[in-house]
Structure 1
Amino acid sequence: MAEQTDTGRLIYGCMGLGGSWGDEPYTAQDIAVAEAAVEAALDSGINTFDHADIYRKGKAEAVFGEILGRDPELRKRIVVQTKCGIRLQDGDRPGIYDLRGTTIVERVEQSLARLRTDVLDVLLLHRPDPLADPDDVAEALTSLHRQGLVRRFGVSNMSAEQIAHLQRSLEMPLVANQLEMSLRQRGWVEAGVVVNTPQAAAVGFPLGTLEYCRANGVQVQAWGSLAQGRYSGRQETPDEQATARLVEALAKEKDTSPETILLWWLQRHPAGVVPVVGTVRPERIRACRDAATGEPRLSHEEWYDLWLTARGAPLP
């Protein structure tokens, strides 16, 4: 199987595939929905598909595996990425995080079976586990790599210090960090400008994370990139309404879609942000085409206009 290394400008997030979050099996209709979404992503220039073992209780991976089973040649054209490290609620037992080495290996083997592939291009550790031993994690990742089961590794929802702490135990470089980032979830950009102000404590995003990723070649992936439609569909506050109007105006001016404007805002940042698009609606996936196939056409001033309008307040 040819190795895919380039994730492209956009990633398709598969969390919406596979039907419900219940225990019932997926259906033929769920497979059809997934096929339509995958086709729209490929038509839009997206070649990377992001999963997690918990999405729809494994059904997202399984439905995708059905698609790969029907078209074996497709696997050679795409990058398959999945995540592990979260254990969902089980009866009365609440959900927890689990990055023990044995658990990682077990979850990867299960993902490979559901996805009907013999190798993962990228495995991300989904959430930080306070009980994780970096040496134990590194041993598991190294074993998976040596067996040819996983090509590259990354993390999700981790700070610079957490990545560096794990990297010290791992010979292979961590290649990605997936974070919630959008025009609505702006902590990643706010953290850099509220230093030495009273607002700094309220931001929450770990300052220095983007800088660490840029300095160490860690790709920054943005989940939730379309802000759940807040600026390209429904709006609930005056700031969201004003931002949606500006997004629409810029889209018309540049002959593109509102979704593309939102993605360009992320891509315009010099950290090289790669947004993850998670909608299952083919028309909305195709609305992202310009962000997948070309450079972001936002000026310095337009980028700030979007930020300040969504912010609803001047910079400090």
Structure 2
Amino acid sequence: MKIMPLERRGISNSRIVFGCMGLGGDWAGSPLTKDDYVTAEKAVEAALSIGITMFDHADIYKRGNSETVFGQILKNRPDLRDQIILQSKCGIRFPDDAHPHRFDFSKSHIISSVDGILGRLGVEHIDILLLHRPDPLMEPEEIAEAFNQLRSAGKVRHFGVSNMTSAQMRFIQNSLPEPLVVNQLEMSLARLDWVEQGILVNQKAGTSINFADGILEHCQMANIQIQAWGPLAQGKFSGRVIEDAPDTVKNTAALVQKLAAEKETTPEAIVLGWLMKHPARIQPVIGTSSAERVLACQDAVRISEAMTRDEWYALLESSRGQRLP
């Protein structure tokens, strides 16, 4: 079995990432409650129990409360920090009375964001920092200055991006002495642009695909880990009520259930296994805060190895709602 780019770099062998966006109460940044801490602790323990050792954050998640509640878990378990990989993101700034919603890759914002992340998590360093969404005003030389300062200070060990094209990655990389190690993108059985981009070459239907050309190929050639956010497709194929859903969703959910029964596993494992079978060694970032649903993902690695080519294409064709060209 091929290993993941992050494992090849000696950073992490966690085949799945636990995404912490769902932890920390509401998006208004309301004071954390006892239930918020209990929910987070149960979800994190469930993740650890199935071999997940990588945890994904962002400074904006629940207005910082996702990192704060996770920081309390680390405080309660001091031994845990050395057993896991911590990843966070920065670069999105929410609007307020004086400012619009904007992206910010300025040196000062990147550095101050990391200081905030470290403070909320209660740690001295994070393992990976991602730039969250492309900033049209980004200057690679300034990003490099921020990265170099953070690395020299021992605050961040590795850097990556999220939601970026191969051209944007190359643009930033040109000014960096160290390689970008991650690109996080929305990918799932319900979000197929990343597959369609390659399938619909020289097809009229391909002109409507909104996924930049060459991302998968560039990341594979440059040993950049592709992480998939939203990999469970909000439960569309694994138990969510879908009475009003299109036939493609209903039919695919039925096929997922059939395969899960045949392979004696869960629908979540089928959905993730389909994504993980791709040769790019995609690393799903599961965003559920439900401990039960986290546990339902534990068989995904086995399914990714056991799923046949015919089964993979059957799921693809069902979800896309039409046969391949």
Name the amino acid aligned to 1:305: A
Name the amino acid aligned to 1:208: G
User: Following the alignment from structure 1 to structure 2, what is the Cα–Cα distance between the partners of residues 93 and 73?
Assistant: 41
User: Following the alignment from structure 1 to structure 2, what is the Cα–Cα distance between the partners of residues 262 and 301?
Assistant: 15
Counterpart position of 2:189: 183
User: Following the alignment from structure 2 to structure 1, what is the Cα–Cα distance between the partners of residues 302 and 61?
Assistant: 28
Counterpart position of 1:164: 170
1:167, distance to aligned residue in structure 2 (A) = 0.3
Cα deviation digits, residues 59-99 of structure 1 (max 9, x gap): 00000001001111011111100000000122474311101
* Residue 174 (str. 1) matches residue 180 (str. 2): yes
1:292, distance to aligned residue in structure 2 (A) = 4.8
Contact 1:45 1:293 in 2 (8 A): no
Counterpart position of 2:296: 287
Counterpart position of 1:259: 268
User: Following the alignment from structure 2 to structure 1, what is the Cα–Cα distance between the partners of residues 305 and 291?
Assistant: 22
Provide the TM-score with structure 2 as the length reference: 0.94
User: Following the alignment from structure 2 to structure 1, what is the Cα–Cα distance between the partners of residues 97 and 62?
Assistant: 16
Cα deviation digits, residues 190-245 of structure 1 (max 9, x gap): 10011111112211101100000000000000000000011112321111000000
User: Following the alignment from structure 1 to structure 2, what is the Cα–Cα distance between the partners of residues 174 and 146?
Assistant: 16
Q: Percent sequence identity over matched residues?
A: 48
Cα deviation digits, residues 82-138 of structure 1 (max 9, x gap): 000000122474311101011000000000000000010110000010001000001
Q: Secondary structure in 2 aligned to 1:5?
A: coil
Counterpart position of 2:257: 248
User: Following the alignment from structure 1 to structure 2, what is the Cα–Cα distance between the partners of residues 7 and 92?
Assistant: 44
Counterpart position of 1:86: 92
Aligned residue among 144, 150, 166 for 1:138: 144
User: Following the alignment from structure 1 to structure 2, what is the Cα–Cα distance between the partners of residues 230 and 23?
Assistant: 28
Q: Secondary structure in 2 aligned to 1:280?
A: coil
Counterpart position of 2:238: 232
* Residue 75 (str. 1) matches residue 81 (str. 2): yes
* Residue 121 (str. 1) matches residue 127 (str. 2): yes
Counterpart position of 1:197: 203
Q: Secondary structure in 2 aligned to 1:296?
A: helix
Counterpart position of 1:22: 28
Counterpart position of 2:305: 296
Counterpart position of 1:153: 159
Q: Secondary structure in 1 aligned to 2:227?
A: strand
Aligned residue among 104, 111, 124 for 2:110: 104
Structure 1 residues 116, 179: CA separation in 2 closer, same or farther (over 3 Å shift)? same
Contact 2:23 2:289 in 1 (8 A): yes
* Residue 278 (str. 1) matches residue 287 (str. 2): yes
User: Following the alignment from structure 1 to structure 2, what is the Cα–Cα distance between the partners of residues 252 and 170?
Assistant: 48
Contact 2:274 2:304 in 1 (8 A): no
Taking only aligned residues, the RMSD between alpha carbons, in angstroms, comes to: 1.2
User: Following the alignment from structure 1 to structure 2, what is the Cα–Cα distance between the partners of residues 273 and 68?
Assistant: 27
Question: Which runs of structure 1 show a deviation greater than 6 angstroms over 4 or more consecutive aligned residues?
Answer: none
Contact 1:265 1:296 in 2 (8 A): no
Q: Secondary structure in 2 aligned to 1:222?
A: strand
* Residue 33 (str. 1) matches residue 39 (str. 2): yes
Contact 1:7 1:79 in 2 (8 A): no
1:294, distance to aligned residue in structure 2 (A) = 7.0
User: Following the alignment from structure 2 to structure 1, what is the Cα–Cα distance between the partners of residues 158 and 257?
Assistant: 38
Name the amino acid aligned to 1:25: P
Contact 1:45 1:292 in 2 (8 A): no
User: Which one is further off, 32-41 or 17-26?
Assistant: 17-26
Provide the TM-score with structure 1 as the length reference: 0.97
Total equivalences in the alignment: 313
Contact 1:46 1:292 in 2 (8 A): no
* Residue 313 (str. 1) matches residue 319 (str. 2): no
In structure 1, the gaps of 5 or more residues are none
Contact 2:270 2:303 in 1 (8 A): no
